[in-house]
Amino acid sequence: MFSKRVEEMRPSPIRKFATHSEAARLAGKNVIPLNIGQPDIETPQAYFKALASIEEQVIAYSPSEGIPELREAFAAYFKKSGLPYEYDELLITNGGSEALLYAFAALCDDGDEIMMFEPFYSNYLSISQVIGAKVNPVPTDPENNYRIPSYEEIAMRVTPKTKAVIVTNPSNPTGLVLKAEEMETIKRVCVEFGLFLISDEVYREFTYDNAVFRSFAMYPELLSRLIVIDSVSKRFSACGVRVGCIATKNREFLSHVLKLCQSRLAVPFAEQIAAVSFFKESEEEIEKVRLEYKARRDVCVEVLSQMKEINFKTPEGAFYFILKLPVEDSDDFTGWLLSDFDVDGETIMLCPANGCYVTEGGGKDEVRISYCISQDKLRRAMVILEQGLRAYSRR
């Protein structure tokens, strides 16, 4: 009756406990959200001013490509960040999500595969399912900090159906920031097997300690097969604006994606106009945000390090941890925390990590937490997590 594609889709692991959370709130509990990558940092004021200044008589369809001002703003930002994309080598999308959907759709027919390092951002799976593509998972080892495996380990998993490799750098959910030799490995796989490389760089600015972000766009020999995904969501704390972009030097790829863009006509005009203002934010502003995330990460590391029963790796970038918990089923634990537990009327919402795996049983005792809320809330959340684990084991 319904398509197999939707029958096979699972509800978003990030959002599937919304009903539990709502019930907890109705029961008078305060729920600290660790489940979603929704920063609490203020959206720049310039966005609101730009929205208020719109004077069009008619809010008309804008070009399917995106409005010129915004394409130019992205191009200028890319240039400043060392990515060589011109105005007409990028298309504006409804968030990074649509950029991913269109990249997958332009490369994959039903049953074709996208290779991803596991654990991966859970929406990569659902977006593949929307267009009938499959995930070809390459496991990474938490004991080795989720680092990229060797060329041989990746190469042996490429199949004739594999069309592309996708990498999130810095990584959601592991916090890995790719080293030069890891990038060389991935590049070699893509070049030798003729695969496209989709580089999701929405957390580009968020790296900590000695980790250095490098874009795959620095390899000239990769440019014809490189697709860069970007978004204003995390960098400018503007997740609800839904403005992203897809950039590539491959003109044929871009012409195919343009047809996909035409099928949905346009991205909202007002959001595009207002998003231009983000790119006038100073680098100091973004650096301030980065330092705040580093401090938040440090709070989590400090507290988590004292909990012997939790295994984790210190993230080098983005704003997520994968935590290995002493529970059998993190889905059950997540629901239990919302329905049956609180510390002084407060509890936490986790994101079970099974959605970040397609390998059977992967992530069953893991959760992803997001540290994009205040240090104070994070401290309280870590206490709730620790006490929750203890109470849960004594149930």
Nearer of residues 178 and 276 to a copy of itself, judged by Cβ: 276
Measured from the CB of residue 388, what is the shortest distance to a copy of itself in angstroms?
A: 25
Nearer of residues 51 and 301 to a copy of itself, judged by Cβ: 51
Measured from the CB of residue 253, what is the shortest distance to a copy of itself in angstroms?
A: 7
3-state secondary structure of 67: coil
Measured from the CB of residue 217, what is the shortest distance to a copy of itself in angstroms?
A: 20
Measured from the CB of residue 214, what is the shortest distance to a copy of itself in angstroms?
A: 27
Reference 123, options 155, 159, 160, 95; nearest CA is 95
Nearer of residues 57 and 282 to a copy of itself, judged by Cβ: 57
CA dihedral 273, 274, 277, 279 (to 10 degrees): -80
Count other Cβ atoms within 10 Å, centred on residue 340.
Answer: 13
d(CA 307, CA 371): 17
Q: Which amino acid is at 23?
A: A
Nearer of residues 149 and 352 to a copy of itself, judged by Cβ: 352
Residues 6+ apart with CB under 8 A from 270: 51, 54, 59
Nearer of residues 192 and 309 to a copy of itself, judged by Cβ: 192
Measured from the CB of residue 60, what is the shortest distance to a copy of itself in angstroms?
A: 5
Count other Cβ atoms within 10 Å, centred on residue 134.
Answer: 18
The token pair at 90 is: 């990028």
| Length reported for the chain | 395
Measured from the CB of residue 120, what is the shortest distance to a copy of itself in angstroms?
A: 14
Nearer of residues 16 and 214 to a copy of itself, judged by Cβ: 16
Sign of CA pseudo-dihedral 118, 124, 125, 129: negative
Nearer of residues 257 and 304 to a copy of itself, judged by Cβ: 257
How many CA atoms lie within 13 Å of 355's alpha carbon, on the beta-carbon side?
A: 26
Neighbouring-strand partners of residue 135? 114
CB 167 within 8 A of CB 136: no
Count other Cβ atoms within 10 Å, centred on residue 329.
Answer: 14
Measured from the CB of residue 12, what is the shortest distance to a copy of itself in angstroms?
A: 4
3-state secondary structure of 310: coil
